[in-house]
A = this chain, B = another copy of it.
Amino acid sequence: MSKKVITISRECGSGGHTIGKLIAEKLNVSFYDKRLLELVVQQSGLTEDVIKEQGEYTTTSLLYTLATNISYSYNVNTKGNMILPDQIFAFQTEIIKGLAEKESCVIVGRCSDYILRNRDDCLHVFIHANMEAKKARIISEHRVAPEKAETHIKDREKKRSTHYHYYTDRNWGYAKNYHLCLDSGILGIEKCVDLILSALE
């Protein structure tokens, strides 16, 4: 199996970001999380704050917008033009496709598994964990208050799942979308890294 791009989709607090970073270090390849944002900022003229919020959590669904009471259907870029979330997604899509074309790398989130689904040289990974493990991680590593941890996780996962479904017409966390799905709460971070590296061999 010869794969040069690894996409990591992950539940909030599952350690998927850490796993992706460790994989990139071990393979000595680029790691795209916030760096992807910088590329979108450069190419779109949008501000980083707007993209950070829109890039993984929104849809253009009017019903969804009304239901969540967030008026983000339209945004203004730094050049004063109106930008739809669909256009942000289009920017991201082109950037992710371009990265996969030109280099080996690890990409975290942003529907990258779906965007690169037709390439044969990608390994698509999903990392999940039980609620207790996820709570422990975001409390200790992201300093979320213990009493708010579960709500924080559920809220982010709801948004991530809705965004994924809107742009891919797939169900987030469904095993068939990925080549490898791992429970980091049971297996542990190091074992997840080992298994992904082994899958690449």
Contact = CB atoms under 8 A, between A and B. Distances in A.
A94 interface: no
A182 B186 CA distance: 16
A198 B197 CA distance: 12
A178 interface: yes
A76 interface: no
Given A175-B174, A182-B179, A188 B1 contact: yes
Given A175-B173, A179-B183, A181-B175, A191 B1 contact: yes
The A interface, classified by DSSP as helix, strand, loop or mixed, is mixed
A194 B197 CA distance: 12
Contacts of A186: 1, 179
A115 interface: no
A179 B129 CA distance: 9
Interface string A164-201: 00000001011110111111001110010011001100
A31 interface: no
Interface residues of A, number: 22
A126 to B, nearest CB: 5
Contact of A175 (B1, B126, B187, B199): B126
20 contacts: A1-B186, A1-B187, A126-B181, A171-B174, A173-B174, A173-B176, A174-B174, A174-B175, A175-B175, A175-B178, A175-B181, A178-B181, A179-B187, A180-B181, A180-B182, A180-B183, A180-B195, A191-B198, A194-B198, A195-B199
